[in-house]
Structure 1
Amino acid sequence: MMIQNIERAPDSGNALDRKTSRTNQGSNQEKIGYLIPEFPGQTHIWIWREISHMREWGVQIKVFSTKRPAEDIRARHAFANSAQAETYYLWPPSPFHLLATLLWVLFTRPLGLGKAIWLAFTLDVEERPKWRSTLPLVLPACILAREACAQGIDHLHCHSCANSAILAMMLKRLNGIPYSLSLNANLEWWGGAMTEKLTEAEFTMAVTEQLLDQIRRKYPHLRQDQALLGHTGVDTKKWIPVAKGSKKEHEVFQAITVGRLHHSKGHDLLIRAIKRIVDAGQAIKLTVVGAGPERENLETLVSQLDLCQVVQFTGSLSEDQIIERMKQSDVFVLASHAEPLGVVYMEAMAMEVPTIGTDAGGVPEIISTSHDGLLVPPGDEKALAEAIESLMKNPELRHKLARNGRRTVIQRFDSRISAATLHQQLLGSLPKGYQQPLSTTPPYSTSS
């Protein structure tokens, strides 16, 4: 592959000038790079939805990733094989490729290489000494720079604010390619240097109002257009409910939870809540979808509570398999201690499965309690059991929450909404033919 040897001019002008220039040139000339760590992972499905929508609107996208995902976190979804086949992995390179890249950088980007190395020694990350985690990033940054140049990448969108954001900063020094970020967890989770990462980014899309407010309060020097809201979302044209008849008296109530088997997800709390319901004489079954380090502990807990005939573990499932499980469910519950947002809540609501979440993190931005779902305090086993029982005993409430839940997702969390926001930021306009959904009651309202 022929490599372009012309170094790009340093980034100049404000974001509006650049977007206007892109619009005048035509969006089809723009090529966007996506940098996603260990892609495709099981939780990356919302990113793939975003990529798919952008491509439907004619945007050229090249996917980069730091390295291939380990088997235990690799996506089980239908898109995984084709996504992995098209992804360019930065590490590990072959010895020949690494040597060729180093020669290319030394001959065509010596000043940029020096700037990238200087960044590695001076960036204010949390680890000490600072360079220990940043200096090794110079080599994959050089590989990214060479391939981005060969592919004609105009902008890099980075779905991580940790080391991948540092790679984006190094790419900017090597090739002058601007970058943007998606922020999907608290600012303190990303290893430090957030002031530098956010300041240099053309813009950052925060997935919740809470995160956006955190950015604006902590970094008031950022331009207004450098921080914006971009909810993650669900494809409401795929996650479609099925008609369900009335629950017969003898039928077992079906509960489902979906999430990584990690302590933070509160699966142990949910299992104990199910035990309370069983002990009260109610017929219920729980399906637990997901994999993770807590599976053995959770299975032990199920055995200790004598719930082996009540709780089923499925492991990780594909998107299509989860949809089929949702169709068979009467309630969705995720008892996370803290959840930045929670796409899985949206997926259940889109399927018109009555949804119970915890009043923590970004979940109240999705669920308005008693309107389109129920919220309980995190860590409150008794309140969780009572919420499930209230839905078991009240079919009218289930119907109301199910109907309103889908409406909320269509109007506020369809995956096309955030993709269109990104399109507008990158290309200066909304996609041709795109119509913004009508606004609805704010998710944190208590009105019903």
Structure 2
Amino acid sequence: MKIAYFINQYPKVSHSFIRREILALEAQGAQVSRYAVRGWADAVVDPADVAEQGRTQYLLRQGLWGLLPAVLACALVAPGRFCAALKLALQVSRGADRPWPLHLVYLAEACQLLRWLRQNPVSHVHAHFGTNSAEVVMLAHALGGPGYSFTVHGPEEFDKPQALHLARKMAHSRFVVAISSYGRSQLWRWLPHAQWPKVQLVHCGLDAAFHNVPVVPVPPAPRLVCVGRLCEQKGQLLLVEAARLLRDAGQPLELVLAGDGEMRPEIERLVARYGLQPHVRITGWIGAEQVRTELLAARALVLPSFAEGLPVVIMEAMALHRPVLSTYVAGIPELVQPGVHGWLFPAGDVQALAQAMQTCLDTPPEALQAMGRAAHQRVLQRHDAHTEAAKLVALFGQDDTKSASPC
């Protein structure tokens, strides 16, 4: 089985689940070609990501002008298909959140992608995210390329499905992957009932690097860790507010914010305003090994997200025998059972967040260890990378053997 993966930016620190998925597919015998728009010059710290950079072809490595030969070839060799793809690109640009010239860029990217697919034929193309990556593979298909599918993660696709023309992208696809039951329900909203079977449920998976690690006892230190991009949807500002409430109540606390992002300056200002510097530490971007180290050094993961799909870091924490504190948002309650694997609280409720943190810090390490064991078993049952990759192999195998036609 020869398939292609197409991602907007790859590899990326926050997209390690895509790398795991690709490697799990290859372990099952699939040949996977990697294509991305950008990412060749990004600084990555994980050795596995460094290796993936060398295996990936990048559409914009030669700039926009580098796409021109592929555009001319498609327009001259298959003018009918090119006109149909151009019409589709302009249709998708109407009401979109990005201006129409960018959709012409996506068409040019699709022409280059198709050229590579002709040089290295595959039976199917899979994209991650229902944004511009799904549009590029849809346009490549319209130009004569192989059938495609894409995985929808959320929350962006759920926030603006009409601006992303999600229904049109699903209509042209062979199938669509949702990573949670909640995500599947959101996709069903934009499909006729007869097409609901097109949406398939495949969880993000974890590999043995997280499964088969020695059990590290929960530390007695009052330390919690939040792993994720420092951005609005992850709720770190609310977490700082909750930390202030606990500090003012006399609760010893060390809060680690593992990650970086556009909201870091604002978070640092709030930490300074409340005098929480002795209690809050921001790590900046760290690799997978450091993420594991931070999780194992904490009593639990805390993730007060406002919007999500199903965070992979929750799976990682549970695999490492750590309880989870998070919100009743999207697919999170499908994995984390309150009182069994951790604590859930309403999104945006700082008092409920502070109470969950207090309860976790008051819970004896032995009880947290028992919750961690239950969490480990839960995530092994639902999120094994090879089990989930087998589902994808079966779906890809249902595709026909059509490769990209000459262009």
Shift of 1:319: 0.2
Contact 1:255 1:333 survives alignment (8 Å): yes
Aligned pair 1:264/2:233, yes or no? yes
Change (3 A) 1:41 1:246: closer
1:236–1:350: 8 Å Cα contact kept in structure 2?
no
Q: Which runs of 5+ in 1 are unaligned?
A: 1-29, 430-448
The equivalent residue for 2:290 is 321
2:330 counterpart of 1:361: yes
**Which amino acid letter does the alignment assign opposite residue 28 of structure 2?**
W
Q: Which moved more, 1:37-46 or 1:185-194?
A: 185-194
Q: Summarize the Cα distance change of 1:390–1:240 in structure 2 as closer, same or farther, 3 Å threshold.
A: farther
Tell me the SS of whatever aligns to 1:238.
Answer: helix
For residues 51 and 267 of structure 1, do their structure 2 counterparts lie closer, same or farther at Cα, with a shift above 3 Å needed? same
2:39 matched to which residue of 1?
68
1:405, distance to aligned residue in structure 2 (A): 0.7
Q: Are 2:357 and 1:385 equivalent residues in the alignment?
A: no
Q: Where do 5+ consecutive residues of structure 2 fail to align?
A: 400-407
CA contact (8 A) 1:157 1:179 kept: yes
CA–CA separation in structure 2 for the residues paired with 1:401 and 1:306: 33
Deviation at 1:56, TM superposition (A): 0.7
2:5 is aligned to 34
| Shift of residue 119, structure 1, vs aligned partner | 1.4
Match of 1:397 among 349, 367, 379: 367
Please name the residue that 2:244 is paired with: 275
Quick check: 1:154–1:178 contact (8 Å CA) kept in 2? yes
Shifted more, 186-195 versus 352-361: the winner is: 186-195
Alignment of 1:8-157 (within 5 A): 30-68=1-39, 71=42, 75-93=44-62, 97-123=66-92, 125-127=94-96, 131-157=100-126
Give the 3 Å change call, closer, same or farther, for CA 245–59 of structure 1 in structure 2. closer
Figure out how many residues of one structure are paired with residues of the other and give that number.
Answer: 395
> How far did 1:246 drift?
7.2
2:128 and 2:134 map into 1 onto residues whose CA distance is 8
Distance change (3 Å), C-alpha of 1:63 and 1:380: same
Partner in structure 1 of residue 185 of structure 2:
213
For 1:66, what is the secondary structure of its paired residue?
A: strand
- Which residue of structure 2 lines up, in the alignment, with residue 415 of structure 1? 385
Matches within 5 A, 1:201-350: 201-240=173-212, 242-245=214-217, 252-350=221-319
Rounded Cα–Cα distance in structure 1 between residues aligned with 2:330 and 2:68: 46
CA deviations on 1:200-227 (whole Å, 9 max, x unpaired) are 1100001110121222243125535411
Tell me by how many angstroms 1:162 deviates.
1.6
* More moved, 196-205 vs 282-291: 282-291
Match of 1:337, SS?
coil
Q: Secondary structure in 2 aligned to 1:123?
A: helix
Aligned to 1:161: 130
Residue pair 2:117, 2:145 contacting (<8 A) in 1 also: no
TM-score (structure 1 length as normaliser): 0.82
User: Which residue does the alignment assign to 2:172?
Assistant: 200
Identity of paired residues, percent?
29
Say if 1:269 and 1:379, in contact at 8 Å, map to a contact too.
yes
Alignment match, 1:7? none
Structure 2 CA distance for partners of 1:115 and 1:401, relative to 1, 3 Å: same
Output the CA distance in 2 between the equivalents of 1:324 and 1:426. Answer: 36
Hey, what's the Cα distance between the residues in 1 that align with 2:97 and 2:65?
32
Provide the residue aligned with 1:27 in structure 2: none
Q: Which amino acid aligns with 2:326?
A: G
Aligned partners of 1:125 and 1:192 also within 8 Å: no
Relative to the length of structure 2, the TM-score reads 0.90
Contact in 2 for aligned 1:332/1:356 (Cα 8 Å): yes
AA aligned opposite 1:62: S
Contact 2:180 2:203 in 1 (8 A): yes
Report the Cα distance in structure 2 between the residues aligned to 1:181 and 1:256, rounded to whole angstroms.
Answer: 32
Across the aligned residues of Structure 1 and Structure 2, the Cα RMSD in angstroms comes to 2.4
Decide whether the 8 Å contact of 1:359 with 1:377 is kept in 2: yes
Instruction: Please say if residues 273 and 385 of structure 1, whose CA atoms lie closer than 8 Å, have aligned partners that are also in contact.
Output: yes
Q: What letter corresponds to residue 398 of structure 1 in structure 2?
A: L
CA 1:201–1:260: 2 relative to 1, 3 Å: same
Q: SS at the partner of 1:79?
A: helix
Q: Aligned in 2, Cα 1:427/1:67: closer, same or farther, shift over 3 Å?
A: same
* Inter-partner Cα distance in structure 2 for 1:129 and 1:231: 30
Residues 106-156 of structure 1, C-alpha deviations (whole Å, 9 max, x = no match): 443232212211212333642389743322322111111111110112211
Cα distance in 2 between the residues matched to 1:96 and 1:275: 52
CA distance in 1, matches of 2:168, 2:215: 51
What CA distance in whole angstroms lies between the structure 1 residues aligned with 2:66 and 2:350? 55
1:357 positional shift:
0.5
Paired with 2:29 and 2:21, the residues of 1 have a C-alpha distance of 13
For residues 223 and 256 of structure 1, do their structure 2 counterparts lie closer, same or farther at Cα, with a shift above 3 Å needed? same
Does the C-alpha gap of structure 1 residues 195 and 218 become closer, same or farther in structure 2, counting only changes over 3 Å? closer
Q: Which has the higher contact order (CA 8 A, sep 6+)?
A: 2
